[in-house]
Structure 1
């Protein structure tokens, strides 16, 4: 674990370098940073400055805004006592803080977190009251810009952030801005933190999300979908066994999967559709859930979305829908449905539309790999439709794309492992040379290439 160090200790070290060791200011600052970094100190949020110098004496922008925000909040320390002018001032400062800490403002966010911004913003939101919508929305947006790592999300949890956010979201506000920004906080706070996920689940966030999604006006609140995806993603490397699999089943039991399918069918705007697909993919963790999504029309909806993405040449939607369909194809019953609906022809048409886009081709090959798994009949259909040719052309056209080469090898393996007739076709078209070349060029392809060569029946497949 990184060694904790305070701003005062850092400043003292810089000062000591100048006064005791005779270093010039720039050298003293650089030496302090280098020495502490080598010692394993956590310098995130430390302002790298030379104490006492006029040029460095200026307060950093984020500290200036944070100090003004704390002072203003203290002067208007209750919801009932806040004037419109006071609310406007607080909201403006919150918006400025968000601007400073968003996007590339990683260091600004770290400085703010180290100096109590998370705790201050949680307290401010708690005192705002549901009626102060502008203030709450600005507070939530600023808060989500600060929640970037486990340190910041732990501060959020320890200051009772999950309870505060859930109380506000349950408070009956009809503001889409509060809903959007509030669930943005849920997603940001839950990312990479298993304990925060558990806090939100204990507070029945799944029921709240379902309630919000049933309102047609909320179908394009993207943060709702992002919150589902993050809550159901096992992304905390401190945890050996994540609970998110159980959370996914719990989400499915509430009926959210069906609501998501209906949203994809009727309501979701193109800009929110990839997030909705990712949310549904996170819920589809077992055969029963995958089949229920299909039974409620999920596969038909996705195939239609793929057709539309093909016509509109929207590669983001195409990839999202293919990725979700691949997950649903893990159910053998769904494989049959996809193929009966003309899936092979539709996917091949998609690759022709995106012939210059390796990520789309990779998603299609991944889907065909799954459809052909343990199914000689499907493998034969795929070869007849032209997927052997697709694999060869993709390998020829994108030799430097390791992921394309690997996915082609995986698909080839499933096309031939139970279909000896397919081996002859592919070998006669020069596939062995392409696979061996991919194996040499890309270390990440080694295992997939070896398996493909073995199941093609060639000699020295492991060399």
Structure 2
């Protein structure tokens, strides 16, 4: 795997050497440099690959367009020419959107301070620049959240706060969406930015934006707000020993009515299946405690989710996210009973059967059924009667190489038989033993759950005793 990196200057020098020393054509010189570095295990994803021009004076240094735009932007800002600044910001955004390497190179050459300087023109009386600056900032920090400092984070919070207090204008949704996008990208794999934003008061601004824009005209804002809520409650920064995702989730739900806002937003977009999928994903992500599951039920969320699952048709992503939300809610035993009473088991099985070719839907369906079956023998019988095991077994046959499907199907079978041993025989008659054994052999990650399923089915399982707890002489 490529892990080494080089600078843009080193790459450009190699291309120029191929031109001057070996007499290659510009395109060939560029290709030769790429192949040379890649053969050495160098990661070139941060490099702008552009051949230099050749004139009568010889090879010229490549003029990277993103750097030319950056220079023009800085000059326009220094001379306070708002119209030209807007044009350069749009060009900058387009270049950053086009290529990750352009973002990386621009960041190296001072693009972030240049954008902060541009924002001063907004404060000085050029409000039309607000949207292009936010769009350019979002494009720049995409994959580079380290760029943001305290000044930039405070700028985002103040912007959202100002938009929350502003009167409704035509461009208000676009501005809010751009600011929320910046927040989302700032929090990806960056615990420091998350904590700083929360301390600065970002959470009520996120839920508030979602609530205010829960109408057809605000669909884009709601999508960005969901993304921001998701990223600010993740724990994916390996540079810190622990994150505050649980605390941030608690604040969103308990202090800022996050679950209520999401359920209301689900009702506001009955015909936007893509957005409903995003809302269900966020709902599942925030439903992390027993009392949160009950709250979603009390808010009418179960009825909404059941209707969505029954009517989602061929929209596989929506089906997958609804199943995730139902699985999260079913961790509460009272909610689990409510799901089964409402016919959720039958709907889940029907969804898996309809989308049997989708490994993601099959995996989430098995996961949801396995939680419904946990510690509930009466639920296990309902799952058997409505064809849940048959669907799970068929999913294992259709997706033998999908470890997630195999693993969740094994967990489902184990949960069905752990307290209802009389169900083992009909499950074995479906060919479950052979499929589980095959999953264990093919996928090492399935080993433990596969052995547990075979054990509860009454099949022979070889268990390795790793340690007996007895003292003894260590052998060299």
Shift of 1:232: 0.5
User: d(CA) in 2 for partners of 1:13 and 1:446?
Assistant: 50
User: d(CA) in 2 for partners of 1:223 and 1:274?
Assistant: 13
User: d(CA) in 1 for partners of 2:40 and 2:112?
Assistant: 25
Aligned to 2:157: 166
Aligned to 2:260: 258
Aligned to 1:203: 200
Aligned to 1:235: 236
Aligned to 1:249: 250
User: d(CA) in 2 for partners of 1:4 and 1:459?
Assistant: 52
The TM-score, its normalising length taken from structure 2, stands at 0.84
User: d(CA) in 2 for partners of 1:7 and 1:344?
Assistant: 57
- Taking a change above 3 Å as real, the CA distance of residues 302 and 50 of structure 1, as seen in their structure-2 partners, is closer
1:155 pairs with one of 147, 152, 160: 147
Aligned to 1:79: none
User: d(CA) in 2 for partners of 1:131 and 1:446?
Assistant: 64
Shift of 1:342: 0.7
Matched, 1:445 2:446: yes
- Taking a change above 3 Å as real, the CA distance of residues 110 and 36 of structure 1, as seen in their structure-2 partners, is farther
Matched, 1:111 2:102: no
User: d(CA) in 1 for partners of 2:460 and 2:315?
Assistant: 43
Alignment of 1:319-338 (within 5 A): 319-338=320-339
Which deviations, in whole Å up to 9, do the C-alpha atoms of 1:359-415 show, x marking residues without a partner?
Answer: 212211110011111222222221122111112211222223332222211111111
The range that moved more, 231-240 or 390-399, is 390-399
Shift of 1:211: 2.4
- Taking a change above 3 Å as real, the CA distance of residues 392 and 28 of structure 1, as seen in their structure-2 partners, is closer
Aligned to 1:289: 292
Shift of 1:50: 8.4
- Taking a change above 3 Å as real, the CA distance of residues 134 and 321 of structure 1, as seen in their structure-2 partners, is farther
1:62 pairs with one of 62, 66, 70: 66
Does the 8 Å contact 1:18/1:28 carry over to 2? no
User: d(CA) in 1 for partners of 2:421 and 2:35?
Assistant: 67
For residue 396 of structure 1, give the secondary structure of its aligned residue in structure 2. Answer: helix
- Taking a change above 3 Å as real, the CA distance of residues 392 and 3 of structure 1, as seen in their structure-2 partners, is closer
- Taking a change above 3 Å as real, the CA distance of residues 264 and 359 of structure 1, as seen in their structure-2 partners, is same
Shift of 1:353: 2.5
Does the 8 Å contact 2:234/2:245 carry over to 1? yes
Aligned to 1:90: 85
Shift of 1:23: 7.0
- Taking a change above 3 Å as real, the CA distance of residues 456 and 28 of structure 1, as seen in their structure-2 partners, is closer
Shift of 1:182: 0.7
Does the 8 Å contact 1:10/1:32 carry over to 2? no
For residue 162 of structure 2, give the secondary structure of its aligned residue in structure 1. Answer: coil
User: d(CA) in 1 for partners of 2:351 and 2:251?
Assistant: 35
Aligned to 2:471: none
The TM-score, its normalising length taken from structure 1, stands at 0.86
Shift of 1:63: 1.4
Alignment of 1:179-190 (within 5 A): 179-190=176-187
For residue 214 of structure 1, give the secondary structure of its aligned residue in structure 2. Answer: helix
Shift of 1:133: 5.2
Aligned to 1:124: 118
- Tell me the C-alpha RMSD between the 2 structures: 3.1
For residue 170 of structure 1, give the secondary structure of its aligned residue in structure 2. Answer: helix
Shift of 1:74: 1.7
For residue 168 of structure 1, give the secondary structure of its aligned residue in structure 2. Answer: helix
For residue 149 of structure 2, give the secondary structure of its aligned residue in structure 1. Answer: helix
Shift of 1:448: 2.5
Shift of 1:231: 0.4
The range that moved more, 91-100 or 112-121, is 91-100
Aligned to 1:389: 390
For residue 272 of structure 1, give the secondary structure of its aligned residue in structure 2. Answer: helix
User: d(CA) in 2 for partners of 1:98 and 1:448?
Assistant: 48
Shift of 1:69: 1.6
2:304 pairs with one of 301, 304, 308: 301
Query: What runs of 5+ residues in structure 2 fail to find an aligned partner?
Result: 465-476
Shift of 1:53: 6.1
| Number of aligned residue pairs | 443
Query: What runs of 5+ residues in structure 1 fail to find an aligned partner?
Result: 77-81
The range that moved more, 395-404 or 188-197, is 395-404
